[in-house]
Amino acid sequence: MALMPMTVFADEINGADTAWIMTSTALVLFMTLPGLALFYGGLVRTKNILSVLMQCFAIAGIMSILWFLVGYSIAFSGDNPYFGDFSNVMLSQVSMDTPSGTIPESLFAMFQMTFAIITPALIIGGFAERMKFSAVLLFSAIWLLVVYAPITHWVWGGGWLGNVLDYAGGTVVHITAGVAALVAAIVVGPRNGFPSKPMPPHNMTMTISGAAMLWVGWFGFNGGSALAAGGDAAMAILVTHISAAAGAMTWMFYEWIKYGKPTALGTVTGMVAGLGTITPASGFVGPAGALVIGIVAGIVCFNAVIVIKQKLIIDDSLDVFPVHGIGGMIGTLMVGIFASKELGIFSGQGGWDRESIIIADQLQIQFTGIVATVVYTAIATYVILKVVNVITGLRVTDEEEQQGLDIVSHEERGYDI
């Protein structure tokens, strides 16, 4: 998608490409609902399960409407390198037959919409179990238009970071979500009792079911980012799968050696780390490169979780930054290496338009992309949270937090047993 040329004249709409991207769109929506919702839901305490599921659903609704109204236009219209224009507000330029490459633009906008849903949904892991529902909605809505849509424009919409290799969202999705979650965890503050009081996951079965759905859905996320059904998409799925497997097994054995037991949560967390890390690289690297990327993801993200939670004592409650933020960063860097066609068996793959790259130069471009994304996301997220704090307040009261968000925010219980 990084090289999805906005200027190229459209080919004929192709049935096979269209069919695959429609399938991918469904797969990516499935990642959020119910995949991510269950993955996160199992990790919180019994009294907050419904708040997590509810936030995922509400975010899916609000982001969809905002993306249709104005988000897509900001991301994918206009020549300005930093911010799109409003020429495509309410998809005014999109009719049934408008092409985007070899697929209908209605489909491209819809496929992108599912990315605009999952990115804010990923962030809720940072402030889970304590943020007001009204604040979650207001924050997510502003964040989509101020952070997500412009950065999408920079990288994929013809903006100033168009040279960054980011196939399916290492910068656009994972770094933005990870950094925003970290900033939100700091600004909102830790859950009462953190870190002395244990807050173990309440339903690991749910978490592992959700994680399994993420693995499957990710084929659409990365494979669909080819925006066509062909070798590119197939290779993207292959490398995605290899990295997920390598990330899961690396984390499992690492934990086994370090703590004496291989855990289910560790295994699926390593899988998500492998998936997040391969995301920017998926259409550019080969399967051998993906193996290295997955192993590095498992080791680095594992240690990042420990540093953030236990050394820095930051309550990024569901570890969004160490898994997605750090994973996105190391993936965005490693694609600068493994996209090269001169690494033998570890060479890059994919039909993108640059025959080969000079690793040192590309790493600089990748690094610039990472720094720009991190700095802008961090500052903008901080300001948005301060604004939301003035309007709705960010946290529930201590007593409400003790009672649990399910009853306090929604007057419902997740379980009646």
Partner 1 sequence: MKFVTAIIRPHQLDDVREALSELGVSGITVTEVKGFGRQKGHTELYRGAEYQIDFLPKVKLEIAISASILDEVIEAISDVANSGKVGDGKIFVTNLEKVVRIRTGETDQDAL
Query: For residues 96 and 311, which CB has a smaller minimum distance to partner 1 in the complex?
Result: 311
Q: How far apart are CA 55 and CA 156, in angstroms?
A: 27
- CA dist 392 to 28, 132, 138, 139, 299, Å? 31, 8, 8, 10, 40
Q: CB of residue 299 vs partner 1: minimum separation in angstroms?
A: 13
Q: CB of residue 254 vs partner 1: minimum separation in angstroms?
A: 10
| Sequence-separated (6 or more) residues with CB below 8 Å from residue 153 | 74, 75, 76, 82, 83, 84, 159
Q: CB of residue 37 vs partner 1: minimum separation in angstroms?
A: 19
Reported for 84-90, long-range contacts at CB under 8 A and 24+ positions apart, including other chains, are 84/149, 84/150, 84/153, 84/157, 84/159
Extract the tokens encoding 232.
């590119």
Query: For residues 211 and 291, which CB has a smaller minimum distance to partner 1 in the complex?
Result: 211
Query: For residues 65 and 306, which CB has a smaller minimum distance to partner 1 in the complex?
Result: 306
Q: Dihedrals φ, ψ of 5, to 5°?
A: -80, 125
Query: For residues 18 and 263, which CB has a smaller minimum distance to partner 1 in the complex?
Result: 263
Q: CB of residue 282 vs partner 1: minimum separation in angstroms?
A: 25
Q: CB of residue 395 vs partner 1: minimum separation in angstroms?
A: 23
Q: For residue 279, which of 386, 150, 410, 175 has the smallest C-alpha distance?
A: 175
How many Cβ atoms sit within 10 Å of the Cβ of residue 412?
Answer: 11
Number of H helices, E strands in the chain: 17, 2
Helix (H) / strand (E) element for 103: namely strand 103-104
| Sequence-separated (6 or more) residues with CB below 8 Å from residue 241 | 219
Query: For residues 172 and 214, which CB has a smaller minimum distance to partner 1 in the complex?
Result: 214
Q: CB of residue 71 vs partner 1: minimum separation in angstroms?
A: 33
Query: For residues 135 and 305, which CB has a smaller minimum distance to partner 1 in the complex?
Result: 305
Query: For residues 57 and 256, which CB has a smaller minimum distance to partner 1 in the complex?
Result: 256
Query: For residues 92 and 205, which CB has a smaller minimum distance to partner 1 in the complex?
Result: 205
Q: CB of residue 301 vs partner 1: minimum separation in angstroms?
A: 10
Q: CB of residue 305 vs partner 1: minimum separation in angstroms?
A: 5
- Site residues (vs partner 1, CB under 8 A): 198, 200-201, 255, 258-259, 261, 263, 265-266, 269, 302, 305-306, 309-310, 319
DSSP character at residue 395: B
Query: Crossing angle of helices 204-223/15-30, nearest 10°?
Result: 160
Query: For residues 166 and 255, which CB has a smaller minimum distance to partner 1 in the complex?
Result: 255
| Sequence-separated (6 or more) residues with CB below 8 Å from residue 397 | none
Query: For residues 7 and 197, which CB has a smaller minimum distance to partner 1 in the complex?
Result: 197
* Total residue count of the chain as it appears in this document: 417
Radius of gyration of the chain (CA): 20
Q: CB of residue 188 vs partner 1: minimum separation in angstroms?
A: 20
Contact 126, 181 (CB under 8 A): yes
Query: For residues 266 and 286, which CB has a smaller minimum distance to partner 1 in the complex?
Result: 266
The DSSP code sequence of 329-378 is HHHHHHHHHHT-S-SGGG-B-S--S-S---HHHHHHHHHHHHHHHHHHHH
Q: For residue 412, which of 67, 70, 133, 182 has the smallest C-alpha distance?
A: 133
Q: CB of residue 217 vs partner 1: minimum separation in angstroms?
A: 22
Q: CB of residue 82 vs partner 1: minimum separation in angstroms?
A: 37
